[in-house]
Amino acid sequence: MIQLAPSIIAANFARLGEQVEAALVAGVRRIHVDVMDGQFVPNITIGPLVLEALRPLAASYGAELDTHLMIVQPERYLAEFKAAGSDIINVHVETCPHLHRSVQQIRELGAGVGVAINPATPLTLLDDILADIDQVLVMTVNPGFGGQRLIPAAVAKIARLRAMLDARGLERVTIEVDGGVSVETIAALARAGITHAVAGSAIFNAQASIGENIDGLLRAAQVP
């Protein structure tokens, strides 16, 4: 069954704790935190202080904080984000010239290791690192802003990644997608082989309650 990871970038920050708790009450056990620096991506979001504030709430529900570092030189901040409460730290293959070293750093800090990959970045760049990580975060939109439409070619890319992992006996490596997840797209993503789906505006919106949106996404993901 697909697990959802609500992205707080789409939440109302004046009511952040309340909205995150509503998602946790609805059953999610992963909260996705998008960190952007205005350099790697054209947006600036949040830093470790927000994770530190959310950590007790997430811990009280047994949930994990999934941190997505869309920043240059992420290795400079890994320890800080782990100390703030990150359970999983995702770094981009595009920003890590010494990717194996960054992966080792995250592992030594005691966090789950994720590697993120942009829509136009080939899967071949993951060949030599797949056995050393816990998660691949596949961007299904160009990173930087929420509310974008899913890039259709990303679905086939996810299917190829699933085949790569299965062929190598790496079924333990989770596949998380980020971008354009909705009730219209999540079934195709589920069929392609994802395990986790990041959703922002599909969960935090005025059309329905957070719990109703989560339930709708999970029902849409249950495909034959």
SS3 of residue 102 by DSSP: helix
Taking the C-alpha atoms of residue 138 and residue 10, their distance in angstroms, rounded to an integer, is 19
Q: How many CB atoms lie within 10 A of CB 11?
A: 22
- Sheet strands side by side (includes 3-6): 3-6, 196-199, 174-178, 135-139, 112-117, 88-92, 64-70, 30-36
Taking the C-alpha atoms of residue 173 and residue 181, their distance in angstroms, rounded to an integer, is 20
Kindly state the DSSP code that residue 1 receives in the 8-state scheme. -
Helix (H) or strand (E) holding 178: strand 174-178
Taking the C-alpha atoms of residue 100 and residue 103, their distance in angstroms, rounded to an integer, is 5
Q: Which of 180, 100, 90 is nearest to 136 (CA)?
A: 90
Are the CB atoms for 5 and 32 separated by under 8 Å?
yes
**Residues designated catalytic:** 34, 178
